[in-house]
Amino acid sequence: MEPELPSNIVVERAFWVAAASAVLGGVGPLIVAIGHTNRIGAVLFPFAAAAIAMAAVALFYRQGRSLSALVYFLGGLAIAYGLLLVLAVPMRLAVTGSCPPAPQLCTSGLEMQLTSQEGTGLTIAVGFGLISLFAGFIGLSVLYRQRGPAAMPPVWPARPPEQPTPPPPSEAKPEPEPVTEPALVSEPEPEPEPESEPPPPPPAPPTEPAAGSAPDAKPRRKRRPKPPTG
């Protein structure tokens, strides 16, 4: 099924012109020949069918190009049949012959010649029929040249989604053996070197007693406590 086409004013108006031309081509010969002999009035029926077909395309051309082309083809066949129907009258008169114009008598039983009203109606039918065909062809060509709408993504996927493959069973990895670090051997600290003793200070020179100084006082003896009497 084709997606719905966007609206196009050129296509729509072209098919409306085709429908109106078919109507004028079918009604015109009847109006011109009112009150006179009219042997081409039967063109009204095929042209009416063509007008309905062209109007249907103008209304529903967005439903798809194939449907529009089919309906236009049927309307074109109706117009072609109507043109052959009106052109068959002068061709038949040319082949079989016709009666002489009045006031002469026609004793051979042939048909009368085309009147001026019939000639005018024939011209109207052929002219508007060709205009209808041409306008419809322009609309159909424009319809096929315009770009269609972007295709919508499908609602359902074309195939079911692929299930993810299960991961392979994980193999038990052996626990790594504890690595024993080698004991660090402390290096013996070097013994401190004995410090060299500083040289003894030089002896102080003896001091002489100053003159007039008092001799050294003798130290006092401590008294012993008396024993208690009995």
Q: Which tens digits make up the pLDDT trace of 22-32?
A: 999 999 988 98
Sign, Cα dihedral of 163, 166, 167, 168: negative
Q: Which tens digits make up the pLDDT trace of 74-88?
A: 999 999 999 999 999
2 confidence band (pLDDT: 50, 70, 90)? low
Higher pLDDT, 98 or 55: 55
Nearest one of 25, 43, 55 to 81, comparing CA atoms: 43
Give pLDDT, residue 230: 47
Give pLDDT, residue 126: 93
- pLDDT at residue 51 above 90? yes
Taking residues 213-224, report their average pLDDT: 57
- Assess if CATH 1.20.120 describes domain 9-98+114-145: yes
**Count of Cβ atoms closer than 10 Å to residue 99 Cβ:** 16
Q: What is the pTM of this model?
A: 0.59
- pLDDT at residue 213 above 60? no
What one-character-per-residue DSSP string does 121-170 give?
A: HHHHHHHHHHHHHHHHHHHHHHHHHSPPPPPPPPSS-SSPPPPPPPPPPP
Q: What are the residue ranges spanned by the domains of the chain?
A: 9-98+114-145
Query: 114-150: b or e for each residue (b if 16 or more CB lie within 10 Å)?
Result: beebbeebbebbbebbebbbebbebbbeebeeeeeee
Q: Which tens digits make up the pLDDT trace of 122-144?
A: 999 999 999 999 999 999 998 88
Nearest one of 66, 48, 46, 60 to 15, comparing CA atoms: 60
Residues 6+ apart with CB under 8 A from 133: 18, 76, 79
